[in-house]
Amino acid sequence: RAAKLCDKLEHLDFFIRPLNIQDPEITSDNHDVNKFFASLNNITKHVQAGLTSLAHFDDVVTMAEIIAGGKKALKDNPIISFIACVFKSPLQIVDDTSEKVFAIVEAGLPLVISSSPQGGSSAPIQEAGMVAQINAEILAGITLTQLIKEGAPVLYGSVPVRARLDDLHDLYGCPEFNQYNIDCVQLARYYKIPCYSSAGVGDARVPGMQAMFEKLFTHFYMAMSGAQYIHYAFGLLDRTNCFCPLQAVLDNEQIGKIKHCLRQPKINPTEIDNTLHMVKKVMASSHRLFARHARKAMHSGDISDPYQFETKDMEDKVIENALEYMARLEAEPAPHLDSDVMERIYNKVPGLLPGLKTT
């Protein structure tokens, strides 16, 4: 359901499975192939995930090659990528994850070297200490990838969090979360490495004012900081413990507004000439109003629309309107793989659940 819905959300650019698989038929042996297949069979966007086990990595790659159209096609346009947390904070390398890094890099597929220390427990809570530690962990992991294969595609994966001091759970809706992450983005820019950053997470358990405040608080700051690849951005509540489809729809609208705010200004010689012509035309008219030209700009997408879920009444109906919109999206068919592609995958990849096969 999450992949199908997210395929319809125009401002979501890639997909990371937001739920842990709970099906009783899923084991450590078939976990990876089923989570990738369930995603790829319901979304046309890039799919990213971690590896539960290295044993079936080759099967995941085979699946992606079949969907992409071959080994070269997958290398030219990777439809999947991976996340690996090489270090257990503080500063302890993990043998199992390191082995996965070797396999992914040797396969030539993109990889996020991720680190997620918690300020106040597994890292200093002070900004300088947190950033120094996470930077060391990420750079060590990235160095490993380049020693395996120089030029391997890799992202600087910064996921620093802060501990609540009352229960030591992660605390996302706080200024320190932004400070840690902005610092990491700037370090990645300094090293000229694309940054995988975090935003859109909060501590709220249900959609509402707290959730929107916490999400906007991080969405806007991370986007403005220059992070190229922002995860955790859609639908997550209760410190990433819950995925809410309604919240994903609300986040999509919010992120669309942020993308519009931060897009490149449309200022060039052609635009300046057109604007001068428009001003002369309006000033020569009797009404001297730019309304007609504003409508043209709206229809062309140059200016933004009003908030999608607004209401004309005094009562706040954002949740109600978003639920209606979500119902329309979910009523649309999912973008399943072609039947012949699906047959080839089931013939080549062991462990796939029969119930995931669609017609």
For the stretch 150-160, pLDDT in tens is 999 999 999 99
Pseudo-torsion of CA 319, 320, 322, 327, nearest 10°? 130
Q: How much is the pLDDT for 230?
A: 94
Query: Where does the chain have alpha helices with state H?
Result: 2-8, 31-40, 57-68, 71-76, 95-107, 127-148, 175-191, 209-225, 245-262, 269-283, 291-300, 318-331, 339-348
- Give which of 55, 52, 51, 116 is closest to 81, Cα–Cα: 51
pTM here is 0.90
| Domain architecture of the chain: domains with CATH | 2-263+341-348 (3.20.20.480), 269-300 (no CATH)
Contact 62, 349 (CB under 8 A): yes
pLDDT of residue 112: 98
Q: What average pLDDT does this structure show over 234-239?
A: 92
Q: Render pLDDT for 311-355 as a digit per residue (tens, 0 to 9).
A: 888 888 999 999 999 999 999 998 999 999 999 999 999 999 998
pLDDT of residue 291: 84
pLDDT the model gives residue 23: 83
23-32, 34-43, 101-110, 243-252: range with lowest mean pLDDT: 23-32
| pLDDT of 89 | 94
Angle between helices 95-107 and 127-148 (to 10 degrees): 50
Q: 47, 80, 43: which is closest to 334 by C-alpha?
A: 43
Q: Each residue of 4-37: pLDDT tens digit?
A: 999 999 999 999 988 888 788 998 889 999 999 9
The position carrying tokens 């229809």 is 299
List pLDDT tens digits, range 252-300: 999 999 999 999 888 999 999 999 999 999 999 988 888 888 888 888 8
**Helix or strand or coil: residue 32?**
helix
- For 160-189, write each residue's pLDDT tens digit: 999 999 998 999 888 999 999 999 999 999
